[in-house]
Amino acid sequence: MKKQFIFLLAIMYSTAAYPQGKIVGKIKEAVTKNDAEAHLIFLASDEMRGRGTGSPEAAIAANYIATQFELAGLRTVGGSNTYFQEVGLQRSQLPKTLDLKLGDDYFKYKDDLLLLRGKSLAFEGNFVFVGYGNPDDFNGVDVNGKVVVAYTGSSEKSDARESLRKVSRAKYKLVREKGAVGLVEIVMFSDIPWPILSGFFGPRVSLADPTEVVDIPHLLLKKSTSESISHLVQQKTGRGTIVVDLTDPKPIPGKNVIGLIQGKDDKLKQEYIILSAHYDHLGVRKNNTPDSIYNGARDNALGTTAILEAAKFFARNPPRRSVLVMALCAEEVGLLGSNWYANHPLIPLKQTVYNLDCDGAGYNDKTIVTLIDLNRTTADALLTKGSLTFGLTLKGDPVPDQDLYERSDNYNFAVKGVPAVDFSPGIKSFDDELMKYYHQPPDEVSSLDFDYLEKFYRAYVYSAYLIANSPERPSWKAGDKFEEAGKTLYGSN
């Protein structure tokens, strides 16, 4: 009887293991380093001039990706006859004039002042200081027809990313609603020095969002010990002038490239996983070397190749859930392509159950896959299995203090509640080996290890396959920062 039981177990094991071995074999057949190298050589060639946002070469990259989708047999989405989602991008121009005077002190553009957003203004009148500009700071304060001055962030602990990405937008909206004619924020964070900040806020790309009203100027003021600012902070009010002379932003082209593999399960095909990567990079820039082309092989032709390999595999082997393969534009200028999709989804986000993004700074440990978001979603075991199957260990964020999670496209899906992670090549630390290539001209295809990348791409595809076929929907783990957003999106149950 015992021998019969052991025999039955062996039969059960062999019948369960056979399909897994078969699908792994299909992944090895479909995902090869020769195919990956061909994609990378094209996308990261000198002729593509770094695929800068809005450039002709970025448009060529988008066309290349769409062609690969068509060759693989992916469907277009939502009845469209194209794989493209047009993204509303615009490029702002340098201010013609940007001056501020408080008391007897003058503050000049770039030296002391930067423009976040807004319209032209010529103003002379009252300025009102409101601390950090939290909602309670406005209690009993009349700001109608005045310029509001506040500290950046919501408290002295606020860093630059939180202050500029989250708090400043909410503050700007509140100030507008209260009838102010302008907002000036005194920079209090220290994690980004003023010269770097000043270099960033030149002509820049943003989303042309018709729902966002931008009708008053919003300025950043360098932290200063000037007498006029000290007086304003102490007295809460003062007199001054602002002169802002701007030209309107100019629209520039931008496209997300999106293809669909319909799931084969009658029920689960109504659920979608997104496999995403951004295809843009930094373009051409002068630097202190003869090479001005930032080819972006690692960041992120590497990730784009991952989703192209996944598209080819899933078109031949449809999983139970449906798969959206998504090449996103304008990541390097502020995660704009994913922001646009998250707010203009082609499939309702409540039907999107997972986002497996592929992006990274490169690699310096070829034995691992780095999952910045390890221990945040319930799919970790599947991602671990997908990696181990091809000889790679799944590791977490090597530098938690750098807030890498919010610096890739998965973040824009997470804030909407979609469980989203960044599956990236192995990073043990941000050392010289990594930084030699990260956002640098030497990041070219000739420097890549395709034996490692072949394992990495196979691990990415198998991980996606396991998630797309799992009977259980992935979710945020209890207590995660985005758990409540997930409950709002999908419902509590």
- Residue 381 inside a domain? The answer is yes
**Residue where one domain finishes, among candidates 192, 222, 250:** 250
Rounded to 5 degrees, what are φ and ψ at 10?
A: -65, -40
Residue 112 has a CB neighbour count (10 Å cut-off) of 21
- Residue 3 inside a domain? The answer is no
| Same domain as 368, residue 234 | no
**Residue where one domain finishes, among candidates 230, 250, 270:** 250
Question: Per residue in 74-84, pLDDT tens?
Answer: 999 988 899 99
| Same domain as 128, residue 191 | yes
pLDDT at 2 exceeding the cut of 50: no
Residue 23 has a CB neighbour count (10 Å cut-off) of 19
Contact 264, 320 (CB under 8 A): yes
- Residue 1 inside a domain? The answer is no
Given pLDDT bands bounded at 50, 70 and 90, which one contains residue 190? Answer: confident
Question: Per residue in 258-285, pLDDT tens?
Answer: 999 999 999 999 999 999 999 999 999 9
**What is the model's pLDDT at position 62?**
98
CATH code for the domain of 279: 3.40.630.10
- Residue 4 inside a domain? The answer is no
| Same domain as 115, residue 242 | yes
Question: Per residue in 321-334, pLDDT tens?
Answer: 999 999 999 999 99
**What is the model's pLDDT at position 45?**
98
Contact 359, 420 (CB under 8 A): no
- Residue 112 inside a domain? The answer is yes
| Same domain as 337, residue 306 | yes
pLDDT at 7 exceeding the cut of 60: no
Q: How far is CA 146 from CA 98, 108, 234, in A?
A: 18, 20, 18
| Same domain as 232, residue 97 | yes
Domains of the chain: total: 2
| Same domain as 206, residue 119 | yes
Q: Would you state the structure tokens that stand for residue 14, as one six-digit string?
A: 């062999």
| Same domain as 263, residue 235 | no
| Same domain as 68, residue 129 | no
| Same domain as 135, residue 56 | no
End-to-end CA distance of the chain: 45
Tell me the one-letter amino acid at 313.
F
**Residues 6 or more apart in contact with residue 492 via CB below 8 angstroms:** none
- Residue 291 inside a domain? The answer is yes
Question: Per residue in 229-248, pLDDT tens?
Answer: 999 999 999 999 999 999 88
- Residue 14 inside a domain? The answer is no
Given pLDDT bands bounded at 50, 70 and 90, which one contains residue 318? Answer: very high
Contact 338, 413 (CB under 8 A): yes
| Same domain as 83, residue 217 | no
| Same domain as 156, residue 61 | no
- Bridge partners (DSSP) listed for residue 354: 273
- Residue 7 inside a domain? The answer is no
Contact 489, 351 (CB under 8 A): no
**Residue where one domain finishes, among candidates 220, 250, 280:** 250
CA–CA separation, 185 and 129 (whole Å) = 10
| Same domain as 223, residue 264 | no
**Residue 231 domain boundaries:** 91-250
